[in-house]
Structures are given as C-alpha cells and as structure tokens.
Amino acid sequence: MRVTSTPVADGDVRDLAALRPAWLTVDLDALRANLELLGRHVSPARRMAVVKANAYGHGAAEISRALAAGGVEWLAVALVEEGAEVRRAGVTTPILVLGTVQPPQVPLVRKFGLVPAVASASQLAIWVEAAAGSAKPLAIHLKVDTGMSRLGIPPEELAAALEIVRRTPHLHLAGLMSHLAEADDLESPHTPVQEARFAALRELLTPAERESVLTHIANSAAALHRPLGGCDLVRLGLSLYGADPARRMTGLRPVLSASARIVQLREVPPGTRAGYGGRWRAARTSRLAVLPVGYADGYSWHLSHGADALVGGRRVPLAGAVSMDMVLLDVTDTDAVEGDVAVLLGRQGEEEITLHELADRAGTVPYELLCLLGQRLPRRYLAAGNCTALRSRLVERVR
C-alpha cells in the first residue's frame, strides 16, 4: 500500500445533517472491486488509474488513497496542481501528468515527485534544461501522436526525441505512450490503425529500453475490448468509476450516486404552470416536490426534458426546467412526504438511474456529467457499509 498517512482533508465534517440536504455518496468498496476486476481482465499489464478532474468528480484525495490501498501501480492527472493535491493526501504511488507542464512548474514537478508526459520538441527542451541542473534522474514519458491529432510528438520526430533523451544525463525515459481517438466505437477502423502505428514506433526502442520502458496506449474502452498488443500499462478512467464507455462489459459497479431530500411539497390544480418559462403544466391535480439541487451543482440544465428521479423506489419525472439551485419533481403518483430521499443518480429499491441514461437524456457523454459535479455537494464515502469520511469544502470555507 502506497499511502504514507491518512490526513483529515479540508472540509472534513462529521454529520451529514449539518450540511445541505443534497449529497453524493461514493462507494469505495465498489471502486476497489472495479480495480480488482479490471486488474484480472488486463493482466499481466499494470493499471494506471486516471484521477484527473477531481477523480471524475468523485474526490481525488479519497479516491487516490483508496486506489493506492488497493494496489494500483500508477495514477494519472491532467495538471501539476492535481498531482500536488494527491501527494498532499499522503499518496506515494507514481503519478503521471498527462497535460503540458510550463517552465515555472518544473520545481513543483520535482517537489512532488511527478512524472511529466512530454508531447513536443519544445516540451522536451524544458526537461533537457531541467535535467542539466538535477542531482538525480528526472523521469519522463514521451507521448507520440498516432492519430488523435492533439498532443503528441509527430511520429517522424520520435527517433530524434529518443536520441535527445539518451544523450541527456539525468533524463530517464520511463514510458512511451499514445492516445486512442475512437476506442469507445468498437467498429471504428481507426483504432487498429493507431495501434499498428504505435506498435511500429515501439520498435524504435533499444532492446534494453524495451525491458524497462513502460508502453501504453489503451484507455478504458480499449483495455476492456481490444488486445493490448504487448503494452505494459493501461489507463483506466471511466471504467474504474463503474461505467464501460462502449456499454458492453458487465460486472462493473457504479461508484457514485446523487441524492437529495424533499424540502417542500405542494399540491397544484390542473393547468398550473411550474418552473422557469412555465414549461411544465399540470394535466391534473398534482403534487410537486422541491429538491435543493440544480445545475450549479452539476445536475445539467439539459436534463430538464425527460429525466427521471427515484422516490420511494419508483421513477418520477422532473417537472419543468432545472434551476440553478433547485429541481421540481412530479410525485403525484407517490405517497412522498417532506424529508424523503430522492435519488437523481443511482439505485433505490429495484429501480436504477445509470450514468449512461443521464448522459443520453442530457445529450452529452458520461465523462462530462461526472466532471460537472462541483464542490457545493458534500461527498459521503462508504466502506464496508460505514461512512469513513464526509467532505465538504464549502463548510470549511465558512468556518
């Protein structure tokens, strides 16, 4: 286990009742089960857990600690600041920075023991200069573009980049990587083309480098559904959090759910309009429930049209547009009372609202919905049926 301590995070609170009646629940047992399942699936390749964007909205500190305790071999972030946050949480697992690093950030990379993904000649020059003043080797991964046309060294420049690394003292090539553009489309002809390009580029490594350099191109979809082609490492993001991007694999457990208590109920006569723009109109005598959660919390306005919630274990429709801080539900066909818990994402009884369902209703991708979940919502972490942590950064800010 690569956790040096378990410090109390900013905003640690002990009582959910002291917070607003809307919250996220993060199931750490489900996270660990997914990590183990994926580990068996991709073995002998090692696992790199992607915890960028606050661990896809789940909370980077707690998620990283749980993954480290579960034996994950690598973590990945997008920003140097994200890597620093994970380090401050007491995690010592190797961390790859997937995004670009600017020269003023080099001291932070060194301080927190991060590994940069180097994706251009200009970025490589930054690390050549940094290595010149370093007393110990600086590890990097070289990223090559095989068809994403985003970050990455052009394939025709990789040989020269490798030579620069080889002749630079204290600069250590720890990895060679690329990124797939269409892996979640299992019928895409582009993915095998990218994989073949990457396999050919791996041949530029010396025999000694092939023994020590980690090679990786597979994201969740590729790791779940494609041969790994001899790569040493897979980058697991959405799948760790319980969803298969290609919607094929079973056995993954959703890690996050979103809930809120009904704070007000009202009965309205037929013809009553509700919400901004009066988009909802009562077709009969109806009961409307108010939930204290809205698009400022990451519950997308685009869910205004056709999304459901769960109340008393049954589906109920949203009534009108999602507001910044509130949502209306039509609970006419339930016996709901104030204080009852409504589930916006997750399971209640035999019913479940999945991440893919919400993404489809919002006309977006699951990644965006998770990343929209902001700091206004407290996060309740469960392990073995017990609440192990309750985090609210907003509470900390007003103390």
Q: Are 265 and 309 in contact (CB under 8 A)?
A: no
Angle between helices 80-88 and 60-69 (to 10 degrees): 60
Active site (annotated) includes residue 143: no
Active site (annotated) includes residue 52: yes
Find, among 172, 192, 180, the residue nearest to 219 by Cα: 180
44: cis peptide before it, omega within 30°? yes
- Max Cα–Cα distance, the chain, nearest Å: 79
Domains of the chain in start order, with CATH, are 28-241 (3.20.20.10), 256-398 (2.40.37.10)
Q: How close are the terminal C-alpha atoms of the chain, in Å?
A: 34
Predicted local confidence at residue 399, as pLDDT? 38
Give the tens place of pLDDT for each residue, 353-397: 999 999 999 999 999 999 999 889 999 999 998 998 888 876 654
Average pLDDT over residues 183-188: 92
Predicted local confidence at residue 14, as pLDDT? 54
Q: Which phi and psi angles does 110 have, rounded to 5°?
A: -65, -45
Give the tens place of pLDDT for each residue, 2-37: 433 333 344 444 566 567 899 999 999 999 999 999
3-state SS record for the chain = CCECCCCCCCCECCCHHHCCCEEEEEEHHHHHHHHHHHHHHHCCCEEEEECHHHHHCCCHHHHHHHHHHCCCCEEEECCHHHHHHHHHCCECCCEEECCCCCHHHHHHHHHCCEEEEECCHHHHHHHHHHHHCCCCCEEEEEEECCCCCCCCECHHHHHHHHHHHHCCCCEEEEEEECCCCCCCCCCCCHHHHHHHHHHHHHCCCCHHHHHHCEEECCCHHHHHHCCCCCCCEEEECHHHHCCCCCCCCCCCCCCEEEEEECCEEEEECCCCEECHHHCEECCCCEEEEEECCCHHHCCCHHHHCCCEEEECCEEEEECCCCCCCCEEEECCCCCCCCCCEEEEEEEECCEEECHHHHHHHHCCCHHHHHHHCCCCCCEEEEECCEEEEEECHHHHHHC
Predicted local confidence at residue 351, as pLDDT? 97
Q: Are 333 and 317 in contact (CB under 8 A)?
A: no
Residue 287 has pLDDT above 50, yes or no: yes
Residue 217 and residue 146: Cα distance in Å, rounded?
10
Give the tens place of pLDDT for each residue, 377-388: 999 999 998 998
The rounded mean pLDDT for the chain is 93
Give the tens place of pLDDT for each residue, 58-75: 999 999 999 999 999 999
Find, among 213, 123, 210, 219, the residue nearest to 173 by Cα: 213
β-strand pairing of 286-291 with 264-268: antiparallel
Give the tens place of pLDDT for each residue, 203-258: 999 999 999 999 999 999 999 999 988 899 999 999 999 999 888 888 999 999 99
What's the predicted TM-score (pTM) here? 0.92
**Active-site position among 52, 56, 241, 381:** 52
Among all chains, which residue has been given the structure tokens 């090692």?
46
**Active-site position among 143, 276, 299, 381:** 276
Predicted local confidence at residue 286, as pLDDT? 98
Residue 294 has pLDDT above 70, yes or no: yes
Find, among 288, 300, 287, 289, the residue nearest to 260 by Cα: 289
